[in-house]
Amino acid sequence: MAEVQVVRAGPEDLARVHAIRFEVFVTEQGVAESDELDDRDGEPGTVHLLAVSTGDGVRSPGGFEATEDLGTARLLDDGGVAHVSRVAVRSAARGLGVGRALMEALEREALAAHAARAPDGVVRVELSAQETAIAFYAALGYEVGSERYTEAGIWHRDAVKLLHVDGS
């Protein structure tokens, strides 16, 4: 059976990243393409991750083939704060741990990028969660704020998680 692997996407992979985001945000959720694409993709320090299936080529219960792109996520550096954005998992891969794998990899990236700038030993990770994904982020340890707002026509709430450099 195919397994999920999360890899860092390079500039040559941005078309794959954008294809997943377009499918999820623009096609499924009706977000305007102009709202989905921004200049932050190419900023220094921006990290893009791809979740891909690996294995023997057998179609999984989720309906994806081996070596297929399953999801993506992005980590931004917002003035010393790690900011998760554009977390997108293809519909056939949802419920299979792809989102969790992406978030765990993003948290490792955040620790690696921000640990040296965390004099108190704590790296702050922030995100803007769609309301339909709040339970997902809460299950990963994110504290979700109570203020709701719209972004690209979708209700969101801010969430934060504090990562300890020493792993505690």
Q: List, in order of start, the domains of the chain with CATH numbers.
A: 3-164 (3.40.630.30)
Q: What is the pLDDT of residue 116?
A: 84
**What strands lie across the sheet with 47-54, from one edge to the other?**
3-9, 47-54, 69-78, 81-89, 122-130, 154-164, 143-151
Q: What is the pLDDT of residue 59?
A: 54
pTM of the complete model beyond 0.85: yes
Half-sphere exposure of 18 toward its Cβ, with a 13 Å CA cutoff?
16
Q: What is the pLDDT of residue 65?
A: 55
Q: What is the pLDDT of residue 80?
A: 80
Q: What is the pLDDT of residue 1?
A: 47
Please list the pLDDT of the chain residue by residue as tens digits (168 residues): 468 899 999 999 999 999 999 999 999 999 999 899 899 999 989 999 999 998 655 555 555 555 789 999 999 998 888 999 999 999 999 999 999 999 999 999 999 998 888 878 899 999 999 999 999 999 999 999 989 999 999 999 999 999 999 877
Nearest to 156 by CA among 119, 118, 129: 129
